[in-house]
Structure 1
């Protein structure tokens, strides 16, 4: 029988049985477990009828179709029969091939996302031990693309000891060679607890700019995207894999040109978690979907999240009154209740942010009413503690210190507000003391001493000369009065007779001429412009005052740390003798005299100095300023979204 006749017989056979039973690849995969006879579903009721009863003995399948087995065309028939027999003999290879193709397509999609959107990022890939075989496809694709990555087997990680876990955590996110970070998770919806434990352990919430790509099925998608371990992640995608139902092919469509179409196909749908799109709260929405066989669409930006519209989200602010920066009124006696803001510098800035970024805010006081100092257990009190424990988003004014930056974040310093000494303006010196003001007290003492010494030296020279010449010895009182006479420009008429005495008197004349000229010029200046007492411009000046006292409001927070932790002996002495006085009484004590107060410069200018015109202010502010650490900034919880916005 010619080969064409054999092919025609086979074509009639297939047409009679049905193309979906021979070429339906999915039915073959589904029925593999039922045995090799049922793999070719519908070809025959039993193995003796596999070729529709054309032969009774399977051994004569080829002989019944070919009259002369030696004919060359018989080899082609042998090949066709061997292909059908291969489907029956190797069902496991068929299943493995389809699974490999599906997982490889998933890996291709992940690698395309990395290639198009996460270039130059530090990659961290994580999965559970149960998913290692499936995850290996993604790993091979990324390794083939040359992407450097860190692979974490979560099950193996938590079986290690604490030192090994701590060592991995130290290097998990800190590679400075990369400009961004990305985390790829393979999710098994039946065992997500271990992965969520890994996310909390890895402190992913401290790295909000890390891009996270989750691969899994659509089941449980929202529970993953809204999980608390991902609460601060800005860029979060979920690649949901979905198998579409098969479509039956009509009879004989296998004869059409082109490759065979699969009865079932896989689709990928991308979901994005947004932080504020659901009326200011977290939400999930679908971005796009496409078949696994196609590439990721290039025209879509999968990470467009920019914090420019908070959709009415309400930010929690913790604050204490600190005019002119913060001022508010309490709405009730409830210490934990919200307060109403009044006109102040920081609230003006916050209102601008609220209008531009579509957000709202509420203000509350810290439960203990303190700014914040550290405790022995590592926690903080007051505003700092509230931000440390993520109970509020930000504080509108907080002094930045090295210890505080370990538990919370800070914006840029927007105000430099050092401590100053405020005293009463020094009064004018008495006019009757104008005669002695040209010279200081030390200079007057020096002039008197020099005059006395000159008189004694002149007396000694005259006595020596008298003993040699035999003349009368001069008296000591006479030489001293002589020196004073020269100083007052009224010297005696009889100068010394000896040469050495005359030279000494000449030198003294010259010195007294310089002293007299300086005194007269200074006296004229002091009589023309009346002088004041010296002002207090430093802590040293304050300590040098006799019968003087000083004080301030009770120091808390950074002010307390400044005085309490200072190693400067002058600062320690100032703090030791400082009086604690209410703010309302501070200026009254200063105006009464003999008292200085220590407070922040801007607070003094806004609270007290603005009540006077510049020329009429009775207060003197010290020229020496004492900065309390870096300055004033907004304190924010460690990963607040407001920090980059305020800095910008």
Structure 2
């Protein structure tokens, strides 16, 4: 894995692992480089200078404790050079990856080795990807990289894309980013004759449009304006769901969950009755401003591993995105590999009870001397 850091004169880079497999190490960008001339048709000189300053301010003020990964989706890009310069100007370090060759050229095992070191170690609490997009970026390649790099299963990872304005809606509304809490898009073109090369920042919000996702303009970045406050850039997405309707999957298990099916068809919706989990659902719905519908699975199981990576029952419904949340599922190590669990609010210990041993009956006196002591 390659990493660049601000280490004094020049633009240094160091290899983090001397045991890096030669067949895929060449696909990592090992050196920061500058290019004469522009290969980005819409990135004017003013824009590029502003981009360096914007990236520097972004990582210094809003991502100071994050594990940074800079991703290039092309072989040569002056935009990517400006992004690297911005990270160095902020005094930060970052892992550099060339996604195009990684996705198209590496064999599966080498790709897994590379992605295994992409997100830092177990102590990493904040992760951020800064992805460069060119004017003619390949959308299919981009979303393949997003899936392969495990972004859909890392909702707290911050994803910042830098590219032309035509990609804002295409990228931020794509299903591969639907689980990403903080996804941004920084445009790279002049927006009018008086824009002075200012950059526009867009953000994907999860529930801001009547409970549904939307793309909103955060604001215009300029050297004398900046990005605004942290609350503007990284607002609380889960304090108000704006009436969003969630899907809950449940199984009757009184007193925790009580419900009756709305029809005799397997997997029908349920009418929940008064029970512990129902009260919790209604309290959360009122406090966080959401509604929910509840249904059962066709097999009426809590969830059993099928052996091929898939699960049955309620765990399977959560695993495949058929439901948003559930209740009454006992946390296990294997289940936690495919779904997330809240804190256990009621432990249910199992105790084996037996009768206290009594003296054997007199009728056994004949054979007792022959038993093992």
TM-score bracket for this pair, using the shorter chain length:
0.7 to 0.9
Q: In the aligned structure 2, how far is the partner of 1:346 from the partner of 1:156?
A: 49
| TM norm structure 2 | 0.78
1:372–1:343 distance in 2 versus 1, CA, 3 Å: same
* 1:41-60 → structure 2 map (5 Å cutoff): none
Q: In the aligned structure 1, how far is the partner of 2:38 from the partner of 2:102?
A: 35
| SS of residue in 1 equivalent to 2:51 | helix
Q: In the aligned structure 1, how far is the partner of 2:330 from the partner of 2:235?
A: 35
| SS of residue in 2 equivalent to 1:183 | strand
User: Who is 1:383 aligned against?
Assistant: 314
Shift of residue 282, structure 1, vs aligned partner: 0.5
Unaligned ranges ≥5, structure 1: 1-91, 248-263, 426-438, 447-648
The answer on whether the counterparts of 1:235 and 1:305 sit within 8 Å (CA) in structure 2 is: no
User: Who is 2:175 aligned against?
Assistant: 228
User: Who is 1:112 aligned against?
Assistant: 57
User: Who is 2:283 aligned against?
Assistant: 352
Aligned residues: 324
From 327, 346, 350, give the equivalent of 2:258.
Answer: 327
| SS of residue in 2 equivalent to 1:363 | strand
1:391–1:282 distance in 2 versus 1, CA, 3 Å: same
User: Who is 1:210 aligned against?
Assistant: 157
1:133–1:443 distance in 2 versus 1, CA, 3 Å: same
| TM norm structure 1 | 0.46
The answer on whether the counterparts of 1:131 and 1:188 sit within 8 Å (CA) in structure 2 is: no
1:94–1:145 distance in 2 versus 1, CA, 3 Å: closer
Shift of residue 203, structure 1, vs aligned partner: 1.1
Q: In the aligned structure 1, how far is the partner of 2:151 from the partner of 2:90?
A: 26
User: Who is 1:188 aligned against?
Assistant: 134
The answer on whether the counterparts of 1:370 and 1:383 sit within 8 Å (CA) in structure 2 is: yes
1:146 partnered with 2:91: yes
User: Who is 1:128 aligned against?
Assistant: 73
Shift of residue 131, structure 1, vs aligned partner: 5.0
Q: In the aligned structure 1, how far is the partner of 2:330 from the partner of 2:301?
A: 13
The answer on whether the counterparts of 2:67 and 2:120 sit within 8 Å (CA) in structure 1 is: no
1:173 partnered with 2:104: no
* 1:231-242 → structure 2 map (5 Å cutoff): 231-242=178-189
Shift of residue 167, structure 1, vs aligned partner: 0.8
Kindly provide the CA deviation profile for residues 30-66 of structure 1, in whole angstroms up to 9, marking residues without a partner as x: xxxxxxxxxxxxxxxxxxxxxxxxxxxxxxxxxxxxx
1:198 partnered with 2:129: no
Kindly provide the CA deviation profile for residues 323-369 of structure 1, in whole angstroms up to 9, marking residues without a partner as x: 11111112122323311101111001111000000011111111222
| SS of residue in 1 equivalent to 2:329 | strand
Q: In the aligned structure 1, how far is the partner of 2:300 from the partner of 2:225?
A: 58
Q: Give me the CA root mean square deviation.
A: 3.1
1:368–1:297 distance in 2 versus 1, CA, 3 Å: closer
Shift of residue 416, structure 1, vs aligned partner: 2.1
Q: In the aligned structure 1, how far is the partner of 2:317 from the partner of 2:39?
A: 57
Unaligned ranges ≥5, structure 2: 1-35, 366-373
Kindly provide the CA deviation profile for residues 192-216 of structure 1, in whole angstroms up to 9, marking residues without a partner as x: 3222211011110111111111212
User: Who is 2:107 aligned against?
Assistant: 161
Q: In the aligned structure 2, how far is the partner of 1:377 from the partner of 1:93?
A: 52
Kindly provide the CA deviation profile for residues 62-98 of structure 1, in whole angstroms up to 9, marking residues without a partner as x: xxxxxxxxxxxxxxxxxxxxxxxxxxxxxx99999x9
The answer on whether the counterparts of 2:70 and 2:131 sit within 8 Å (CA) in structure 1 is: yes
The answer on whether the counterparts of 2:52 and 2:82 sit within 8 Å (CA) in structure 1 is: yes
1:339–1:444 distance in 2 versus 1, CA, 3 Å: closer
The answer on whether the counterparts of 1:386 and 1:392 sit within 8 Å (CA) in structure 2 is: yes
Q: Give the helix-richer structure, 1 or 2.
A: 1
| SS of residue in 1 equivalent to 2:327 | strand
User: Who is 2:297 aligned against?
Assistant: 366
User: Who is 1:29 aligned against?
Assistant: none
The answer on whether the counterparts of 2:56 and 2:88 sit within 8 Å (CA) in structure 1 is: no
Shift of residue 419, structure 1, vs aligned partner: 3.9
Kindly provide the CA deviation profile for residues 537-596 of structure 1, in whole angstroms up to 9, marking residues without a partner as x: xxxxxxxxxxxxxxxxxxxxxxxxxxxxxxxxxxxxxxxxxxxxxxxxxxxxxxxxxxxx
Shift of residue 173, structure 1, vs aligned partner: 1.4
| SS of residue in 2 equivalent to 1:109 | helix
Q: In the aligned structure 1, how far is the partner of 2:316 from the partner of 2:199?
A: 45
Q: In the aligned structure 1, how far is the partner of 2:314 from the partner of 2:167?
A: 38
1:93–1:167 distance in 2 versus 1, CA, 3 Å: closer
The answer on whether the counterparts of 1:234 and 1:305 sit within 8 Å (CA) in structure 2 is: no
Q: In the aligned structure 2, how far is the partner of 1:445 from the partner of 1:157?
A: 77
